[in-house]
Amino acid sequence: MKKLKERWNITSNWQLTVIFIVFAITGSTSAKFTAPLTEAIGITEESGWYIYWPVRILIIFPAYQLLLVFFGWLFGEFHFFWNFEKKMLRSMKLGFLLPNE
């Protein structure tokens, strides 16, 4: 844990715990939200796995990004998650989606 705290520039175990909680809540929530969204656009598991899962993953990705920053803000770790988000988008060559800073 010490290396992770150094890498993320985290000062306390409490902060690390909050960050792990935010990651867990975000993953669960984004996965839960995508089921009704895929149904709303008319895609269900009966559509076939080759349609359902790619569409669901395409919906999960932006939902996860938004929820990560939202839950980070809600738990008082907005700056950590905003920086994490920017780094992740840049590493995926999606930095053009970020506002100019």
Confidence check: pLDDT of 6 > 60: yes
Comparing 6 with 74, the larger pLDDT belongs to 74
Q: What is the pLDDT of residue 101?
A: 57
Domain of residue 89, residue span: 2-97
Phi, psi of 15 (to 5 degrees): -60, -40
Comparing 71 with 47, the larger pLDDT belongs to 71
- 30 within 8 A of 67, measured Cβ to Cβ: yes
Provide the whole-model pTM: 0.82
pLDDT tens digit string along 9-54?
A: 898 999 999 999 999 999 999 999 898 999 999 998 888 889 999 9
Report the number of distinct structural domains present in the chain.
Answer: 1
Upper half-sphere CA count for residue 66 (Cβ side, 13 Å): 9
Comparing 70 with 88, the larger pLDDT belongs to 70
For residue 80, which amino acid is it?
F
